[in-house]
Structure 1
Amino acid sequence: MSQEAVSVEPHEMLYLPMRRRSTSEYVTTPEGTRELHIFFGIKEITIDEPDLLSFGEALLAQDQFMAGSATTWSSGEPYPWERVRELLETLLAEDILSREAPKPPAGREPNQRFLEAEAKREAPTEPLWWNPDCPRVMEQLVGRPLELGFLETVLPVHRLAHPALDAEGRHVGEMNVFPEAMRMKRPTEWRVCPYPGSRYRDEAPMNVTALKSMTRHWKPVLQGVLAVREEFLRHYSLLPDGRWQLGDLHALSYAVLALPTLLLMRANAPVPNGALDPVLSSMFRVTDGVRMMTSYLLLLLENSMAYDAPMTAAELYRLTEQTNQFLSNRGVCAGPPHMVEEFFATLLDGKPVAGAPSSTAAWDAELPAAMDYGMLGLQLYSLQSNLWSHMCRAHAVIHAALVEVKDEPGGALGRLRERVERDWPMIQLSGLHQATSRDLAEARYGEMYERAQHGQRGFRQDALHRFQEAFTPARDAVDERARQQLRELIRSRAGAPSGSRGDVLDTVADTVAEHLSIERSALRAMEGAQRQINALLQRPHPARKLSGADLSLNHHLRIGTILMRPHLLDTLQDELGVTIENTEDATYCH
């Protein structure tokens, strides 16, 4: 309980300080009963007693009220005071009601801590951009170069354009630039959010500079979104009632993001960094919110939605509000509710742009190539993400094997156990330490991967690449040579302990060997998709093979973020000095 448990008296004045932050909806249960759901930020109230529905409705109309007056909020006879008091005391305990009147901020705005942290942040003073400087930039970021022709496999297409600067000098990704080390400091006007709903006066501010740019280019942004939508629907169909499948809506958002990314990343006449049309950067920013929201709904480990779940503009807005997806630790969505609703209606319903004549943009001819790029990028993202899920399984097996083992302080086995224990909370944070969660994620990524192929030019159903085949080793058995080599190396580096501890090390070696065999299969599928991207962008494919060490760069780019992912092979190298080289052709350990 957040407030002092003091009984409420009828004469007390009570306050609902964040009424403007509330949202509500009526829900019909499977049993046919009607419930009122009220949301105050991350807190949810469910009223399922029919005679209390009017109480909930009246509560949302109050900024302040005398406690005793709540007995009159009934649609029939007044509520007994004892019943109302119990309700009010519960709301007080949850900090939804308050005994003190809200006070205006004194000196410090709610976003002051955010602004102070941003002022102290270390940032590059010169622009960093991937095309064509990928080897130099990657080496600066993680200490190892990477050929440009492998970039889409290491970094998802939906993040590639983030650090690029548009013609207004703004990062395409604004505050969400990933990797963070590529985000410069740009002059930005911030404001506490005034919009009613979940983001009202949140501690994270809204980016007014980005909003002003969006407003200047709003109608061309909507026209551009309509153009991508039309191209997308040449390959996909809506449900019979005109609604979208949730997974297809996620793929559509990917196609929108792929358009500016293609123009920036192609080898032939790329748009120079700093010259991107602000219409395109604004399209990217507003659509990336839809990508994040649809991805969240598809991959939520509890109560996720099916790929073919129907989705409308109104339902998307409702879910975004009620799941607090307008908020982030880097700022709240700056779009006013009416602009968000208009954008959703344009993207999902194809609503024409009022008062704007249809026009042909200079990049309209690139829409088919952008579709190909986006759908190939979505396939790579699905492969990348599911391989991480397989690595989480390997972490879980090794963690379970090591947890009961004791070793002398400073011993190799003890160091390995400590490292795995230190990494384990990050695995738990992802939710993928549980087999049921991994199965759900694999099913979703499989649907994304196979469905994305339908959006490519020249697609044939009989040539569909099956997702499971990408994670099925070419041979039924794990590579025995690699398994034995790993067993010998790990035992040797750990001082060859005997008995149960030696058996544990063999479990570690066998689990890693099994994962490497799965990774080899995935590397084959990834390199195939990357080769298609390089041909599309008219860039050369690297002469060497894609490796597991290349994939680990994504993990290194996440260090220091809430998205950190421990890499299993880094653990072996750091704690036991075992280095592993893995490509689709072979595994080498030394």
Structure 2
Amino acid sequence: MPHRKRMHHAYVTSDAGVRELCVYYGMKEVTFDEEHLFPFGEQLVRQGPFIAGDATTWGPGYAWDELKPLLEALLAEGVIKRGGPSDDVRGGGIVPSMLAPSTCPVQRGWSAAECESLTDDLGGRAVEIGNIEAILSVYRIPHPALDGDGRQVGEANVWPPSLRLERDTEWRVCQYSGSRYRDDRPMNVTALKAMIKHWKPMMAAILEIRAETTPRLTRSTTAWAVSDMHLLSGIILSVPAYQLMKRGGTTPQPALHPVLSSMFRISDGIRMVTHEMMFLSDERTRMPDEIVTAEDLYAFAERNGSFLAGAGVCAGPKAMIEELLTTVFSGTAPERTEVIVQPPEVRALLDELPDAVDYGFLGLMSWSVVRSVWLGMSLVYKALRELFATAVGASEIGQRIRAQLEDHWYRLDHGKVAADDERDVHLQVYVDTYERSWLALRTPVGPPTLAARITACPERPAHRAVAAQLHEILTARFAGIDLGGVAVVDRLVELFVYYLREEQAILASTAEIQAAINTLLDRPQPTRPLSVRDLRLTYAMYGGFIAKFPYLFDMLEQTLGFHVTCTAETIEVTETANSQLASFQY
């Protein structure tokens, strides 16, 4: 076996109620659903080098003809190999970074002075600092900031990636047992050393944040729901963001204390794992109110490769991770923390926890509302695909639209918002996040339910005027085309106007939440209304494939020749010069 310490196992019950033995080797999973093979699987986990024929002695009644294809399958998957020990020549020393070279020559961060130029450079639209939480998740705001050690808070995972700076970093082969053992990706020892240095004040700070937050999360009084643990970790990450965002921030940003940056890095792991549990798990998606324990979370991370990232693996020893999880889940630390004297900067921030925690919950409410707009948009795409799959799509203009729809549907599917079941998963998390956050605020803002925030606004005369204008434009576009008796224009107008009303409801709700955030932070209010094109910056700023996430009315402008500008209060429709462009590229 190339790396036996990478292997571990667990017994699980399948959806059909069958007991199974699952053997995990890095990102590989081997499932034994025949009970007589369980001894083989258990021995495989314990076994050192072996002769293939000896495997017949690992359990009762094993025949070579039965085990031979099983061993061949394990060979093909790289779980076992022929020959001697692993030929990994890296040893345990320093190895090169796997990160691509940085493209950011100087540090840039989020502040009133720099936000508009930064969003314009990264995503092609200038957005004011008063709307930053609408386009950038509140827990990601600290990522590009520097700490007192001159390192970025997000380290190798800075978001957006184009803001990552080049920093001297000690990378080593991971020697920890489990999924990351001697993985091709190294671990960041520089960040680990900082974490060890500041461990006790970090744990003390986490306990203070937990003490302020947990009484507000009334559902988790005796045990933790996975959503509430996701919320708590998001709040911990929002505390440094609160410090950076007060009064709109400054340029250059003052360095965060390494206690705060290290606290951020280790707590972000909890957020990412609970996020994966609710959204992305290949096992099954957890319901937001499903109970989770520290042991559950660690085991899930091992099984699902959560300790492995794009260019590195989690650098924390298992004992440190377990101590963190015990502290967060139980509210107790192995050593007394009340005697720890925090650095003055950290102490001053912790003294503002009631406001900082409110900021975090408001930011999570904004996230829930904003992300809901893409669920509504995907339903329009679904309806359009069905409409243009008929004879309507056979015309020249129909073929052009259908090609764009299929390309965009692929991108929506990659974003996990195309399929009905995945859309439902997103919505249930957004609902839970918004409504738990609303309840957790000292002074709630707006209605208590997400549905009240995102349901299409009431129809007004302006909507009927827009409908008439769209009807005229679309009638001209489809003139002379045999629509097979289908009321295509009427259906398109109905879809577009209803979705615009949804956009307006979401934009108005976002503006109200952002106004509350700005008041709390004593930060300048925005001077321009938001649009969904602004909200799309959350994807555009990422770069690469993700930056090509579609927006419905951009596609319609290129295929049908009309431009729509929508804010919370106004909708403008104008015809454009060129409706013949065959494809749209972001």
Alpha-carbon distance change, 458 to 428 in structure 1, aligned in 2, over 3 angstroms: closer
| 1:39-79 deviation digits (Å, cap 9, x = unpaired) | 122322223444332222211112310122222222xx453
**Does structure 1 conserve the Cα–Cα contact (< 8 Å) formed by 2:459 and 2:501?**
no
- 1:454-473 to 2 correspondences below 5 Å: 454-459=439-444, 464-473=447-456
| 1:388-414 deviation digits (Å, cap 9, x = unpaired) | 111111222223333452344xxx554
State the distance in 2 between where 1:312 and 1:271 align: 41
Matched, 1:282 2:268: no
Alpha-carbon distance change, 503 to 190 in structure 1, aligned in 2, over 3 angstroms: farther
The correspondence for 1:581, drawn from 543, 565, 572, is 565
Matched, 1:382 2:382: no
Matched, 1:488 2:477: no
In structure 2, the residue matched to 1:520 is 504
In structure 1, the residue matched to 2:536 is 552
Bigger Cα displacement from structure 2, 570-579 vs 522-531: 570-579
Matched, 1:295 2:275: yes
Which amino acid counterpart does residue 245 of structure 1 have in structure 2?
Answer: A
In structure 1, the residue matched to 2:483 is 500
Which amino acid counterpart does residue 474 of structure 1 have in structure 2?
Answer: C
**Does structure 2 conserve the Cα–Cα contact (< 8 Å) formed by 1:235 and 1:455?**
yes
In structure 2, the residue matched to 1:61 is 46
State the distance in 1 between where 2:395 and 2:94 align: 48
State the distance in 2 between where 1:150 and 1:428 align: 27
Query: TM-score normalized by structure 1?
Result: 0.88
Alpha-carbon distance change, 495 to 85 in structure 1, aligned in 2, over 3 angstroms: closer
State the distance in 1 between where 2:361 and 2:34 align: 48
In structure 2, the residue matched to 1:273 is 253
State the distance in 2 between where 1:61 and 1:322 align: 18
Which amino acid counterpart does residue 509 of structure 2 have in structure 1?
Answer: A
Where 1:363 maps in the other structure, the secondary structure is: helix
**Does structure 1 conserve the Cα–Cα contact (< 8 Å) formed by 2:323 and 2:334?**
no
Matched, 1:118 2:100: yes
Where 1:445 maps in the other structure, the secondary structure is: helix
| 1:506-531 deviation digits (Å, cap 9, x = unpaired) | 64444232211111111111111111
Bigger Cα displacement from structure 2, 343-352 vs 526-535: 343-352
The correspondence for 2:320, drawn from 339, 355, 368, is 339
Where 1:163 maps in the other structure, the secondary structure is: coil
Where 1:38 maps in the other structure, the secondary structure is: strand
The correspondence for 1:191, drawn from 161, 172, 179, is 172
The percent of aligned pairs where both chains have the same amino acid is: 35
Where 2:231 maps in the other structure, the secondary structure is: helix
The correspondence for 1:421, drawn from 406, 412, 416, is 406
Alpha-carbon distance change, 475 to 464 in structure 1, aligned in 2, over 3 angstroms: closer
Alpha-carbon distance change, 31 to 176 in structure 1, aligned in 2, over 3 angstroms: closer
In structure 1, the residue matched to 2:143 is 162
State the distance in 1 between where 2:126 and 2:492 align: 30
Alpha-carbon distance change, 421 to 464 in structure 1, aligned in 2, over 3 angstroms: closer
Matched, 1:400 2:383: no
**Does structure 2 conserve the Cα–Cα contact (< 8 Å) formed by 1:446 and 1:467?**
yes
What are structure 1's unaligned runs of at least 5 residues? Answer: 1-15
In structure 2, the residue matched to 1:535 is 519
In structure 1, the residue matched to 2:341 is 359
In structure 2, the residue matched to 1:84 is 67
State the distance in 1 between where 2:452 and 2:162 align: 36
Bigger Cα displacement from structure 2, 85-94 vs 326-335: 85-94
Bigger Cα displacement from structure 2, 37-46 vs 80-89: 80-89
Matched, 1:153 2:134: yes
Paired residues, number: 563
Where 1:23 maps in the other structure, the secondary structure is: strand
**Does structure 2 conserve the Cα–Cα contact (< 8 Å) formed by 1:558 and 1:565?**
no
**Does structure 2 conserve the Cα–Cα contact (< 8 Å) formed by 1:220 and 1:279?**
yes
**Does structure 2 conserve the Cα–Cα contact (< 8 Å) formed by 1:390 and 1:515?**
yes
Where 2:352 maps in the other structure, the secondary structure is: helix
The correspondence for 1:253, drawn from 233, 237, 240, is 233
CA-CA distance at 1:233 after TM superposition: 1.8
**Does structure 1 conserve the Cα–Cα contact (< 8 Å) formed by 2:14 and 2:20?**
yes
| 1:451-481 deviation digits (Å, cap 9, x = unpaired) | 1112211349xx7521111222232699332
State the distance in 2 between where 1:270 and 1:348 align: 35
**Does structure 1 conserve the Cα–Cα contact (< 8 Å) formed by 2:43 and 2:58?**
yes
State the distance in 2 between where 1:486 and 1:108 align: 67
Which amino acid counterpart does residue 46 of structure 1 have in structure 2?
Answer: T
CA-CA distance at 1:541 after TM superposition: 1.5
Alpha-carbon distance change, 353 to 273 in structure 1, aligned in 2, over 3 angstroms: farther
Where 1:233 maps in the other structure, the secondary structure is: helix
State the distance in 2 between where 1:231 and 1:137 align: 34
In structure 1, the residue matched to 2:285 is 304
CA-CA distance at 1:561 after TM superposition: 4.5
Where 1:95 maps in the other structure, the secondary structure is: coil
CA-CA distance at 1:31 after TM superposition: 8.5
What are structure 2's unaligned runs of at least 5 residues? Answer: 575-586
The correspondence for 2:204, drawn from 210, 223, 226, is 223
**Does structure 2 conserve the Cα–Cα contact (< 8 Å) formed by 1:520 and 1:584?**
yes
Where 1:499 maps in the other structure, the secondary structure is: coil
In structure 1, the residue matched to 2:377 is 391
The correspondence for 1:201, drawn from 182, 185, 194, is 182
CA-CA distance at 1:232 after TM superposition: 0.7
**Does structure 1 conserve the Cα–Cα contact (< 8 Å) formed by 2:364 and 2:437?**
yes
Alpha-carbon distance change, 563 to 108 in structure 1, aligned in 2, over 3 angstroms: farther
State the distance in 1 between where 2:550 and 2:429 align: 23
CA-CA distance at 1:223 after TM superposition: 1.0
In structure 2, the residue matched to 1:325 is 306
Which amino acid counterpart does residue 170 of structure 1 have in structure 2?
Answer: R
In structure 2, the residue matched to 1:26 is 11
- 1:1-20 to 2 correspondences below 5 Å: 16-20=1-5
In structure 1, the residue matched to 2:32 is 47
In structure 2, the residue matched to 1:448 is 433
Alpha-carbon distance change, 143 to 564 in structure 1, aligned in 2, over 3 angstroms: closer
**Does structure 1 conserve the Cα–Cα contact (< 8 Å) formed by 2:95 and 2:173?**
no
State the distance in 2 between where 1:420 and 1:331 align: 36
CA-CA distance at 1:368 after TM superposition: 0.8
**Does structure 2 conserve the Cα–Cα contact (< 8 Å) formed by 1:244 and 1:311?**
yes
**Does structure 2 conserve the Cα–Cα contact (< 8 Å) formed by 1:198 and 1:324?**
yes
**Does structure 2 conserve the Cα–Cα contact (< 8 Å) formed by 1:431 and 1:437?**
yes
**Does structure 2 conserve the Cα–Cα contact (< 8 Å) formed by 1:491 and 1:497?**
no
State the distance in 2 between where 1:250 and 1:295 align: 7
